[in-house]
Amino acid sequence: MAFHHVALATRDLRATHRFYSEAMGFELVKVVVAPTGSPEGGWAKHVFYDTGGGGLFAVWELHDEAVGEDYATAISTGLGLPEWVNHVAFDAPDLEALADCTRRWQQQGIDVVELDHGWCRSIYASDPSGILVEFCCSTRVLDEADRAEALRLLEDPAPAKEEMPAITVHKAMAPSAT
């Protein structure tokens, strides 16, 4: 079953909107303004973007005294984890689309980190709320051998570590003179 949407919090909706519409290339399709249900009478904007893959990505902008203004939005680092642990990965249907995403990010002034995982290739950047986002392109179909190995590794209390994939950093492009 596919996701309908994933929703995360932001403290800076303007910057977050710019990132998801311009850097990610997603279309804003719906905004719901609703009460939060708190005794203080708070409210929130629930903002939805079409990711182009049949699903939606959403962010919450909260206006609620019960929550305050200084809540953590960076899921991983807010929990004391490395940034890469909790992240959101979006599908890039082919390597050409992944290259297009890389260029779009570079043109938006974003350094792009690329990893070739062997079975997929990914690029990574952080949104204005400190959420790690990824565009991922599967480079081969996962088969029965992969499934069998996954079950074996799941049950192995001390599995052998794979080598770290090669990391390529694509530097942000300088802003064009207008």
Query: Is the residue at 112 inside a domain?
Result: yes
- State yes or no: pLDDT of 98 exceeds 90: yes
Range of the domain at 24: 1-71
6 and 66, same domain (yes or no): yes
Supply the CATH number for residue 135's domain: 3.10.180
Q: Is residue 78 part of a domain?
A: no
In a domain, 47, yes or no: yes
73, pLDDT greater than 90: yes
**106 and 138 belong to one structural domain:** yes
Radius of gyration in angstroms for the set of CA atoms belonging to the chain, rounded to a whole number: 19
pLDDT digits (tens, 9 = 90+) for 38-68: 888 899 999 999 999 889 999 999 999 999 9
Q: Are residues 52 and 28 in the same domain?
A: yes
The per-residue pLDDT for 40 is 85
pLDDT at 156: 96
* 36 in Cβ contact with 66 (< 8 Å): yes
CB 57 within 8 Å of CB 26: yes
Q: What is the pLDDT of residue 2?
A: 82
Same domain as 49, residue 17: yes
pLDDT tens for 140-169 read 999 999 999 999 999 999 999 999 999 999
**Is the predicted pLDDT of residue 107 greater than 60, yes or no?**
yes
Residue 38, domain CATH = 3.10.180.10
Q: What is the identity of the amino acid at 62?
A: L
Which of 71, 95, 123 is the C-terminal boundary of a domain?
71
Q: How many domains does the chain have?
A: 2
| 9 and 63 housed in the same domain | yes
User: Which tokens sit at 134?
Assistant: 């990824």
Is 77 part of a structural domain of the chain?
no
Residues 99 and 162 in one domain: yes
Within a domain: 28: yes
Neighbours of 171 (CB within 10 A): 9
Task: Note whether 90 and 22 are same-domain residues.
Answer: no
pTM for this prediction: 0.91
Residues 106 and 113: beta-carbon distance below 8 Å? no
| pLDDT at position 178 over 70 | no
